[in-house]
Amino acid sequence: MGKEKSRRYFLKNLGLSGAALASTPAVLTGKKSDSSIPLQKRKSKKSPNETLQLALIGAGGMGRADLKTALQHPNTEVVAVSDLYDGRLKAAKETFGNDIFTTRDYRKIIDRDDVDVVIVATQDHWHKQISVDALKNDKHVYCEKPMVHSIEEGPEIIKAQKKSGKVFVVGSQLLSSLGYEKAKQLLKDGAIGKLNYAEGVWARRSAKGAWNYPIPKDASEETIDWDTYLKNTKYYDFDPERFFRWRKYKDYGTGMNGDLFVHIISGIHFITDSLGPNQIYSTGGIRFWNDGREVPDVLIGTFDYPNVDSHPGFNLSLRCNFVDGTKGSGYYVMRMVGSEGFMEIRPNQVVYGRNKILDGIDPYMDPAKIHEQPEKRKKILGPETIVYAAQKGYKGCHYDHFDYFFDAIRNGKDVVEDAVFGYRAAAPALACHESYYKKKVIQWDPKKMEIKN
Ligand SMILES: NC(=O)c1ccc[n+]([C@@H]2O[C@H](COP(=O)([O-])OP(=O)(O)OC[C@H]3O[C@@H](n4cnc5c(N)ncnc54)[C@H](O)[C@@H]3O)[C@@H](O)[C@H]2O)c1
């Protein structure tokens, strides 16, 4: 369906016809401002009885959550867990069963024949090596985001995935959600007109939100395999801060950009079918948390997306503030804006709205009518927004992300967020670092996946 046809189809589906289709403020007329998202029905699929045997490498906060989500799916079971801190291995046994195999050495896990799937949820600086080793050992891999710790690491994972023929997925789960799928469809249907701008905002105001997590009392060189932790990076004397509050340090984490921006970049790429931006600039500073951290606690990143077949040129602005007094702690917003409307997108909800001026009474929007007077009589306006909400009982995007992953493994399908997709999202996010520290604009070739300057 052509773009205009699809836009008209979308508007018609909202209950519009005739004149209202031409200009369209009344697009929302008479509609309930709350509707479910019925269009993204999950595909029904065969569920082979064969059990997928899972292993987790990196059993901290996210790894445990990932494994719990994975195990909600039928015919899955966990056989092994690896972590560098004994406290987490003990906790893994308590949560997942005493009979699971636990080890500090991840290689002992990927060497096991009874492991089909490996979840990699370590600090960012270990993602690449463990993923590549696991793929080489014929494991399917669910690798947490960002896929890589540095831009240089991407090609090796892409190569390993291709060579292995195994399913590799990156854990930016938003794009598997009902909300993001709905947004993709709304954009395609022309609901917001021509996309020209998108933004994501994170606002936090707490120690934990700023990555100062509690450090266990028993943390020591006896309970933590410090040497392995540092094996692929610089040497430091034992420092529990660098282990438990790793996001503050460049050697293990990737700043707000790698940690948070990458989620929205992945989501935008999914919604727009984009290969990525061609120009990236980032600025910020340490405004409050002078606690020895190396990465900013306020960061702004701007991304220029070129005009290509799949989307018009648009600008993406991402900002994150860990000392934000505007609201309660922890909110984030992702908004896409077009010439005719906007969408605020969450995993379980899309708030869609249109600019009221589009009801046709503003003559200045049409150069040919610039001298005409606006109509005198006021019009009845439709609701400003429509809320598309997921049906009650929706299990959420983490669940869906594993669902697509397991479906790909079982039925030989592709996943959206494979190594190439993961790299195309991670690299621009990581380029913010490059831009911030070197104070320069980064030119990126999204097709070739290369830095140009
Ligand atoms: N998808 C999401 O929404 C989401 C949310 C939070 C975190 N994450 C990602 O998940 C990853 C983990 O984050 P976290 O908050 O759980 O960190 P965490 O510190 O709680 O856990 C990381 C664990 O990995 C272990 N580890 C490190 N190197 C290892 C190695 N070589 N072998 C075995 N274990 C090793 C550490 O011992 C630690 O327990 C990060 O990459 C993060 O970006 C994703």
pLDDT band per the 50, 70, 90 thresholds, residue 329:
low
Please give all residues whose beta carbon lies within 6 A of any atom in ligand 1, as ranges.
57-63, 82-85, 88, 106, 121-124, 126, 144-145, 171, 173, 228-229, 259
Residue 20 tokens, joined: 């209202």
Q: What is the pLDDT of residues 26-73, one digit of tens each?
A: 334 334 334 455 433 333 333 456 899 999 999 999 999 999 999 999
Centre of ligand 1 from the C-alpha of residue 145, in Å:
10
Pick the atom of ligand 1 nearest to 129's CA: 31
For residue 328, the number of C-alpha atoms closer than 13 Å in the C-beta half-sphere is: 1
Q: CA-to-CA distance for 296 and 320, rounded, in angstroms?
A: 10
Contacts 24+ apart (CB under 8 A), 411-417: 411/45, 411/46, 415/167, 415/168, 415/169, 416/175, 416/176, 416/270, 417/169, 417/170, 417/172, 417/175, 417/176, 417/266, 417/270
pLDDT band per the 50, 70, 90 thresholds, residue 16:
very low
Per-residue pLDDT, 19: 36
- Closest residue (by CA) to atom 17 of ligand 1? 60
Per-residue pLDDT, 181: 97
- Select from 91, 76, 128 the least CA-distant residue to 106: 128
Centre of ligand 1 from the C-alpha of residue 378, in Å:
57
Q: What is the pLDDT of residues 82-139, one digit of tens each?
A: 999 999 999 999 999 999 999 999 999 999 999 999 999 999 999 999 999 999 999 9
Domains, the chain, with CATH or none: 3-42+176-213+237-396+419-451 (3.30.360.10), 52-174 (3.40.50.720)
Whether residue 186 has pLDDT greater than 50: yes
Q: Give the whole-number percent of the chain exceeding pLDDT 90.
A: 79
Given phi > 0 = left and psi -120 to 50 = alpha, else beta, which region is 436?
alpha
User: Of 144, 398, 399, 400, which is best to mutate to test ligand 1, by the most ligand atoms within 8 angstroms of its C-beta?
Assistant: 144
